[in-house]
Structure 1
Amino acid sequence: MPRWAEAQSAVEGAIAIVRRDPNADRFFDLSADSFWRSFGAFLYIAPLQMILVLAERRLALSMSEAPVAEIPSATVMMVTELIASVIAWGAYPLAMFALAPQFGLAKRFAGYVIVYNWTSLAIVLAVLPPYLLFALGVFPPGIVLAINFMILLAVLWFRWTLATDVLGAPGLTAAGFVVLDILLGLFISLGVAALIVGQPAG
């Protein structure tokens, strides 16, 4: 399992990237050994995702006019999310492994994956607070959705920044990689949900 200090450093690195710090890479171990270890970041991310799933289900229940029975159980939603996340965790790096050489980006591929994997932890940490505040009764559903939309836009920009600054892709190519990332995640989530509950999980 990756060291906790490495996870903390990655969060600091994500903040440095947001600030467009030219030396943000100092927060990441970009050695060859760190490439495979970076996939272990999922061990920190997965529990947070399960909390997020429970909060999202509670939000859906508060807003849905459909019978409660039509919304998958918490267990089903967590299993669906976990399986989809495991698949997606490897799918995008594999896709980029095939694509990076085609765009002359092979030399920076490993460093990009390391930073991408570790900063995924920072993204989950950024997404979670509004849902927790809703669960505590602080935020109404509408506020949570509005904040979540703004966070989504920030995440898209952040992923684009990683592709341009870390991978070295031109702006338009980087945008294409971000779209690929989104479509892969969506396809996997819908596919897993269809297999487990017979319909896309909301």
Structure 2
Amino acid sequence: MSLLQELSNSIIGCYRIAKRDPDALSWFNISAGGFWTSFAALVLSIPVYLIHSYIIFSVSPDIIQQTNMNVELTAREFSIWPSFKPIIAWLAYLAVVLIVSKSADFANRYGTFVIVYNWSQFLINLLSLLLFILLYGLVGASLLTVAYFAFLCLAYFFLFMVISRTLAVNTGIAIGLVVLEFILSTVISLSL
């Protein structure tokens, strides 16, 4: 299967998970090859992160002030470093879930989780960029934070759905893994 076909099937699979389709996982390439190919989603997310960071730096002095960043940074310096923080958080989360999965007895479903998580993160990142561009143009920086927070809540609810479906864990464990992802990404974002 070509990467483009796998990408489009995975996007359809993510949509089907959101619709709670019981056959949603059949859209993903659940195989050893599919496991490794799903990391293309991480690579495809790098330009999305770069574009997002560059737009924030270039067109939104209000947002830059809210982040308390040194405004003397060049556009290149600003767009490259923050773009890698989510990648580090992404990989760190997968590593932590691997460790948890071995002790919580769902390690046999970890590969499926990784495949779906990787493709869903790419889709969420792409939608986040498109939403940012659209909303910044329509409502400006003032309402962008509220709209982005609503999107973030939906993204975490979707992560809960991905975890529940792929790892087949109870609600408490799924919520714990969602909270873990939030804490891990926040700590990495603030500390690096």
Report the TM range for the smaller structure's normalisation.
0.7 to 0.9
**Aligned residue for 2:92?**
91
> Kindly tell me: are residues 92 and 69 of structure 1, through their superposed partners in 2, closer, same or farther at Cα, counting changes over 3 Å?
closer
Extract unaligned runs of 5+ from structure 2: none
Which AA in structure 2 matches 1:55? I
1:126-155 Cα offsets, whole Å, 9 max, x none, are 2112321255x3332223222211111101
User: Which stretches in structure 1 are left out of the alignment for 5+ residues?
Assistant: 193-202
Q: How many residues align?
A: 189
Q: Assess if the C-alpha contact under 8 Å between 1:41 and 1:118 holds in 2.
A: yes
1:114 corresponds in structure 2 to: 115
Q: CA deviation at 1:107?
A: 1.2
Provide the residue aligned with 2:57 in structure 1. Answer: 57
Q: Secondary structure at the match of 1:138?
A: helix
Query: What RMSD in Å do the two structures reach over aligned CA positions?
Result: 2.2
SS in 1 for 2:134: helix
Question: Contact 1:11–1:121 at 8 Å: present in 2 too?
Answer: no
Residues 1:13 and 1:184: Cα distance change in structure 2 (over 3 Å)? same
Distance in 2 (CA, whole Å) between partners of 1:22 and 1:49 is 32
Aligned-pair distance for 1:11? 1.4
| Contact 1:92/1:184 (8 A) holds in 2 | yes
d(CA) in 2 for partners of 1:49 and 1:65? 19
Deviations 1:43-93 (A, max 9, x none): 211111111112333465135668x98334322222222332332232111
Contact preservation (8 Å) 1:130, 1:144: no
Instruction: Identify if the C-alpha distance between structure 1 residues 142 and 100 changes in structure 2 by more than 3 Å, giving closer, same or farther.
Output: same
The yes-or-no answer on 1:170 pairing with 2:170 is yes
Partner amino acid for 2:184? L
3-state SS in 2 of match to 1:70: coil
User: Kindly, what percent of the aligned residue pairs are identical?
Assistant: 26
Partner of 2:30: 30
Residue 161 of structure 1 deviates from its aligned partner by 0.9
The secondary structure found in structure 1 opposite 2:169 is coil
8 Å Cα contact 2:124/2:155 also seen in 1: yes
Displacement, 1:175?
0.9
- What letter matches 1:94 in structure 2? A
Query: Take 2:69 and 2:88, find their aligned partners in 1: how far apart are those partners?
Result: 28
The one-letter amino acid of 1:18's match is A
Partner residue in 2 for 1:143:
143
Label 1:63 to 1:117 Cα distance change in 2 as closer, same or farther (>3 A): closer
Using the size of structure 2 for normalisation, the TM-score is: 0.88
Going from structure 1 to structure 2, the CA distance change for 1:33 and 1:65 (only over 3 Å counts) comes to closer
CA distance in 1, matches of 2:74, 2:184: 25
Note closer, same or farther for the CA distance 1:168–1:35 as it changes in structure 2 (3 Å cut): same
The 3 A distance-change label for structure 1 pair 97 and 146 is: same
Q: 1:142 to 1:107 in 2, by over 3 A?
A: same
Retained in 1: the 8 A contact 2:53–2:83?
Answer: no
Structure 2 distance, partners of 1:60, 1:162, is 33
Please report the TM-score for the alignment, with normalisation by the length of structure 1.
0.84
